[in-house]
Structure 1
Amino acid sequence: MQLMSRCGKASLTHPPQHPSAHILASGNRDNPAVVPSSSIATHIESSPPVTMIIETVVVLALFIFLTFKGASRLRHLWQLFRLMGESKFNVPMPISRLGALDVASVIALMALKYIYSFLGLLPKPQPDADRVHILLPEVTAIAKLRVTNRDERRFDLATGGPGKDRSGRDNRVMFLPALVNPMLSLLLANRNCPVLPFGCVNTQNSFEVHDPTIARDAAALREDNCVVMAYFGGPERKGRRVKRGMEFDIRIVVIKFDSRGHGDAVMEQVITILAYLPASAKPKSRPAEASNDEPRVAWTGIRRNKVSLGLLSPRDWAAVCKDYNPIHMLRPMAKLFGFPGTIAHGNHVLAVATQQLLTASDTDDERFDDMRCKMVYSEAPFVLKVIFKRPMVLPLDLDVEYGLVDGGGLGLRVAGGGKEYLAAWMT
């Protein structure tokens, strides 16, 4: 079953010039227990005093730190500030090489958008003529990518080690999506993007892998032969009015170039985000038109593996994907945004579960083993899609169950205490 529309391989004849962070929680779009802040410039209410104080402290602390470090740091911040005002920009360093200062700067620039919104300086999204979609300004970012052995070691530390294919080669299914994740934060920090990022929820992701060998040898993607492109808004990516707010997509494409300068997409990722809106926001939602992308899966009913993460586990994952969202790091901050405790990164849980899938076996069901080998060992392109059902509070110890997708494909879901937290399908 096709879970994501195939947009074909992206093709370029010449690499773009230069390129480079996730400030989102993973959760259920309709879960009333997760109601952070409103998120569209035209409809957002004034930020709560506590939130404004925190934002001010973050900006001032960053300014003091930069001043202490010297003028070169201030110039770097000024360069980032200018880039975040351009609708099309090249990131001045490989996206996978963002440092702590870069990440802190991007978070501060996200906070700055709240001041711009209060002053009426952010662009205002407009309802489309169909009264269902929302027109969003187009923002495009380009970055280079540099993969090192240290990146692979960090991924292995966060996910429990690399899986092995039948030839004994390392296989890291979610490695590349994690490395390019900072592109998301850069687009949300951009002042041409009307979305206020704090409190947004990542509801689902799709990964279309055109070249599965990159999961085994991502280090082959060098700075001189690979670029990452990220897209927000525009006529092809309109916002969608849903029950609790607006859903929108960010598309990330990794392109590898050959010796002749011809480029093909090796991986395309679509990140779906929910920005909460007041009930009075226009256009009004039409719940009856909401689509359900979940395929039919014959679950085995047997828990094959477990995902166990401690309170400090998000730090290991953030070292790979650069998502230092406070709701993943600090319990008080998570509670401030309406969560019951520190929240696990959704893609972190998915990455652990997919790594376990590489070595999972089911001697009672040969069909499962056949499909598993076909999906995770094949050189053929595949699509991995995940839907996050509810936030996963740390520490956690959840079960992983596998199944066969109706029409072909492999499914996995993470559950515990009678609740399903995420479901994913590989087709």
Structure 2
Amino acid sequence: MPTRRYDDTPGFGSLYARTVKATLRKAEYEPDTDGLTLELPHAAIDQDHLTAYRDVTGFSAGPALPVTYPHVLAFPLHLDLMSDPSFPYKPMGIVHLANTITQLKPLPMHADYAIRVHSSPERPHPKGTIFDVLSEVRVDDEVVWTDSTTLLSRSSGTPSAHADLLPDLSLEPSAFWDLHGNLGRRYAAASGDRNPIHLWKLSAQAFGFPRQIAHGMWAKAASLASIQRGGGLPDAYTVRVDFRKPLLLPSRVQFGSQRTGEGVDFALYNDDHTVTHLVGQLQPR
């Protein structure tokens, strides 16, 4: 498995240009199937960027990073992986199904982080093929955080394939959030994820949505920030979310959570509780 190592985070301009090129490649394209690992041995935290991320997601200030923030640090490597000629799928149009993060200890703000990204083997799904983009963060050569981003490449699918889903949740709302139309652009500025489906009504309509939609990772981060404010988060835990239905912007949504032993179940619904946008489970380690 080849490895590409960076001295600095790759720039988004060239990454997005390559992403468009990869999406437009010909149907008879045959990728390299050996896979690719990407490494960024030194990733320092920009405090202004971290503040902007906290502002848009709702995480409070403190001595440790928000649990979802390393996903933002790893995201340029995700783009690099999915736009590389070795990647077997066209990156634009891939559907984000789920995300699982494990934090093994609190993440200090002033550490030197080493990031490693690669993809899992593909597997069948009723709606196509799924795979995971796997991220790992180390401090002083110790793994402190991992992330599995589950993605779907749509095709005719395998009807007999199993779809691994979290159970449906029906939780009483503990908060109502009014989400403005510029939320996708604000999160894009803080995260680097400038997928056009999140930015403007017209750019989202070009991909079949009636208007722009919220980032799934914003919804996960905002949910965890709400749990943090309501009772705190453990030092070490695994938290998984499934993204069910797109969250259109602007909109009003309901957030609900409940303690289940030492863990937390949580969900995000539309204003009248008839559509589930996100379900999640948090379990301490």
**Both proteins in one fold, TM over 0.5:** yes
In structure 2, the CA distance between the partners of 1:161 and 1:402, relative to structure 1 (3 Å rule), is: closer
Task: Tell me the secondary structure at the aligned position of residue 185 of structure 1.
Answer: helix
State the secondary structure of the residue aligned to 1:255.
strand
One-letter amino acid matched to 1:199: G
Deviations 1:30-50 (A, max 9, x none): xxxxxxxxxxxxxxxxxxxxx
Q: Does 1:320 align with 2:175?
A: no
> Post-superposition shift, 1:285?
0.5
Q: Match of 1:303? A: 173
**Per-residue displacement from partner, 1:279-323 (whole Å, max 9, x unpaired)?**
2xxxx6043x414442586x6x43111333212112221222210
The number of residues matched between the two structures is: 280
Q: Secondary structure at the match of 1:220?
A: coil
Q: Residues 321 and 157 from structure 1, CA distance in 2 versus in 1: closer, same or farther, beyond 3 angstroms?
A: same
Matches within 5 A, 1:35-54: none
Residue 419 of structure 1: aligned partner: 275
Report what 1:238 is aligned to. Answer: 121
Q: How far did residue 149 of structure 1 move?
A: 1.2
Same amino acid, percent of matched pairs: 18
Aligned partner of residue 52 in structure 2, secondary structure: helix
1:336-415 correspondence to structure 2 within 5 Å:
336-360=206-230, 372-373=231-232, 376=233, 378-379=234-235, 381-405=236-260, 408-415=262-269
Correspondence 1:151 to 2:45: no
Q: Choose from 23, 26, 29 the match for 1:117.
A: 26
The structure with the greater share of residues assigned to helix is 1
Which residue pairs with 1:52 in the alignment? none
**1:108 equivalent in structure 2:** 17
- 1:248 matched to 2:131: yes
* Local SS of the residue matching 2:93: coil
Distance 1:296 1:395 in 2: 25
Cα offsets for 1:162-216 (capped at 9, x unmatched): 166xxxx6662322223322221111011100110111110000001111x21xx
79, 84, 90: which one aligns with 2:5: 90
Q: Following superposition of structure 1 onto structure 2, how do residues 285-300 of structure 1 map, counting pairs within 5 Å?
A: 285-287=158-160, 289-295=161-167
| Structure-1 separation of matches of 2:81 and 2:5 | 12
Per-residue Cα deviation, 1:213-252 (whole angstroms, up to 9, x for no partner): 21xx3x2222xxx2100012xxxx2211212111111100
Structure label with greater radius of gyration: 1
1:162 aligns with 2:60: yes
Alpha-carbon separation, structure 2, partners of 1:425 and 1:189: 31
Q: What RMSD in Å do the two structures reach over aligned CA positions?
A: 2.3
Deviations 1:99-137 (A, max 9, x none): xxx21221111122245435x44417xxxxxxxxxxx54
Q: Distance in 2 between matches of 1:295 and 1:337?
A: 29
Unaligned regions of 5+ residues in structure 2, if any? none
Rounded to whole Å, the distance in 2 between the matches of 1:141 and 1:389 is 29
Quote the offset at 1:357 in angstroms: 1.3
Change (3 A) 1:123 1:171: closer
CA contact 1:163–1:356 (8 Å) conserved in 2: no
User: Which structure has more strand as a fraction of its residues?
Assistant: 2
CA spacing shift, 1:422–1:175, aligned 2, 3 Å: same
Question: Could you tell me which amino acid in structure 2 is paired with residue 410 of structure 1?
Answer: V
Q: State the secondary structure of the residue aligned to 2:208.
A: coil
Map Cα deviations across residues 253-299 of structure 1 (whole Å, 9 max, x no partner).
00111xxxxx111100000001111x2xxxx6043x414442586x6
Any conservation in 1 of the 2:130–2:150 contact (CA below 8 Å)? yes
Answer whether contact 2:184 2:215 (CA < 8 A) is retained. Answer: yes
Q: In the aligned structure 1, how far is the partner of 2:66 from the partner of 2:7?
A: 27
Question: Residue 172 of structure 2: SS of its match in structure 1?
Answer: strand
Look up the equivalent residue of 1:123 and give its one-letter code: P
Query: Is the CA contact 1:412–1:424 (under 8 Å) kept in the aligned structure 2?
Result: yes
Output aligned runs, 1:168-317, within 5 Å.
172-211=66-105, 213-214=106-107, 217=108, 219-222=109-112, 226-232=113-119, 237-257=120-140, 263-277=141-155, 279=156, 285-287=158-160, 289-295=161-167, 301-317=171-187
TM-score (norm 2): 0.89
Structure 2 distance, partners of 1:244, 1:312, is: 31
Judged with a 3 Å threshold, the aligned counterparts in structure 2 of structure 1 residues 122 and 330 are, in CA distance, closer, same or farther, namely farther
In structure 1, how many angstroms separate the alpha carbons of the residues matched to 2:23 and 2:167?
39
Is the 1:116–1:122 Cα contact (8 Å) retained in structure 2? no
Deviation at 1:325, TM superposition (A): 0.8
TM-score by length of 1: 0.61
